[in-house]
Amino acid sequence: MTTDVDTFRRRTSDAQQRLRERGSDGLVLFPSRNLRYLAGYSEEPGERHFLLFVPAEGEAVFFVPALSGDQIREASWVDDVRTWNDAEDPVPRIADIAAELDLAAGHLLVDDTMWALFTQDLRDALPDATFGLASEVLGDLRVRKDDAELDAMRRAGAVADETVRDLRAMGEEALGLSEAELAAEIEELLESNGGTGVAFETIVGAGPNGAKPHHHHGDREITPGEPVVLDFGTRVDGYPSDQTRTLVFGGEPSERFREVHEIVREAQQAGVDAVEPGVTAESVDDATREVIEDAGYGDEFIHRTGHGVGLDVHEEPYIVEGNERELQPGMVFSVEPGIYLLGEFGVRIEDLVVVTEEGCERLNDTDRGWAC
């Protein structure tokens, strides 16, 4: 399934309804995940004014650089695409469009990641408007994935699963590679299994490097018996995968590693088992943490249990103590407990799950053991 025009129209009319309910007059988006979500098109932000106006009532209007005009007419369902060229001052045009859409003195929700350069021009163009953040309406929409999104995320999960199987099949062939070389191998596998690019910088943490959750990859060689934390993701139709396995590519790991790996595996399962509609995000964090605390490693589990995943790799709902948000069907997030023993090794196991009417469905489902 690819996302069709009706899906984007429905998302936009849902957003408009929410704008009206809260008494806001419109959205002003910038190249971003929000723009891609509503318009079906985005690009890298640049120095030229590139805006989508979505009034609470009526049709959306793109105002974009002339050089992007044709591309947007082809790629987006939005019919009203207006362009400006490099020789003109776009700010008065912005004021004109806002006046035409009855937004000039309205309350506008601006893309959260819009550059200050452009918010400043918006304020100058619309001195009577007031401003809030687009996430006030789009956050609640984006947090529950629709069928097209779930379809893309299932396929991205399958690419990640296939890649883990390929990595296990490498076994002792991986010995002697550097972390960076193994990361490059993972990225090639993700592409050949059907993914596009990487969703975030690939993590390959061998031995003590695995104990640093933010280590990416370096020169350390993969050696027999040494655990390796592998955390990677790619995209399918714009949607990411995010999966972690901790593997030993050859030789025998220490007794302590085996014990810690088993604890993390139990914690991860306890987290997944805790997921159902109506429970709070923090209760899933409690479930993984309890297993690790009971085993005596509470101080070594140094991060939250998980994060929502959608167009952004990190978004709501955050699976963290203090987040009382109730889980609802269609939410997708990671369950990724870990134990990090400074100077020795780390263990993390991560899968994505989607909340269903009865419980949850795993978007990743390969073996969680350490053996190759």
Residues near Zn ion (CB under 5 A): 231, 242, 244, 334, 350
In whole angstroms, give the CA distance from residue 114 to residue 133: 10
Gyration radius of the chain over CA positions: 23
Which residue, 101 or 292, is less far from Zn ion as judged by CB?
A: 292
Smallest gap from residue 348 Cβ to Zn ion (A) = 8
Which residue, 60 or 183, is less far from Zn ion as judged by CB?
A: 183
Smallest gap from residue 324 Cβ to Zn ion (A) = 21
Which residue, 18 or 168, is less far from Zn ion as judged by CB?
A: 168
Smallest gap from residue 279 Cβ to Zn ion (A) = 20
- Report whether 116 contacts 124 (CB < 8 A): no
Which residue, 285 or 350, is less far from Zn ion as judged by CB?
A: 350
Smallest gap from residue 309 Cβ to Zn ion (A) = 7
Which residue, 94 or 352, is less far from Zn ion as judged by CB?
A: 352
CA 268 to chain centre: 20
Smallest gap from residue 45 Cβ to Zn ion (A) = 24
Which residue, 93 or 303, is less far from Zn ion as judged by CB?
A: 303
Smallest gap from residue 336 Cβ to Zn ion (A) = 5
From residue 52, alpha-carbon distances to 11, 41, 55, 57, 90 in Å are 15, 11, 10, 14, 14
Smallest gap from residue 357 Cβ to Zn ion (A) = 25
Smallest gap from residue 257 Cβ to Zn ion (A) = 20
Smallest gap from residue 334 Cβ to Zn ion (A) = 4
Which residue, 274 or 353, is less far from Zn ion as judged by CB?
A: 353
Which residue, 19 or 152, is less far from Zn ion as judged by CB?
A: 152
Which residue, 214 or 324, is less far from Zn ion as judged by CB?
A: 214
SS (H, E, C) the chain: CCCCHHHHHHHHHHHHHHHHHCCCCEEEECCCHHHHHHHCCCCCCCCCCCEEEEECCCCCEEEEEHHHHHHHHHHCCCCEEEEECCCCCHHHHHHHHHHHCCCCCCEEEECCCCCHHHHHHHHHHCCCCEEEECHHHHHHHHHCCCHHHHHHHHHHHHHHHHHHHHHHHHHHHHCCCEHHHHHHHHHHHHHHCCCECCCCCCEEEEHHHHHCCCCCCCCCECCCCCCEEEEECCEECCEECCEEEEEECCCCCCHHHHHHHHHHHHHHHHHHHCCCCCCEHHHHHHHHHHHHHHCCCHHHCCCCCEEECCCCCCEEEEECCCCCCECCCCCEEEECCEEEECCCEEEECEEEEEECCCCEEECCCCCCCCEC
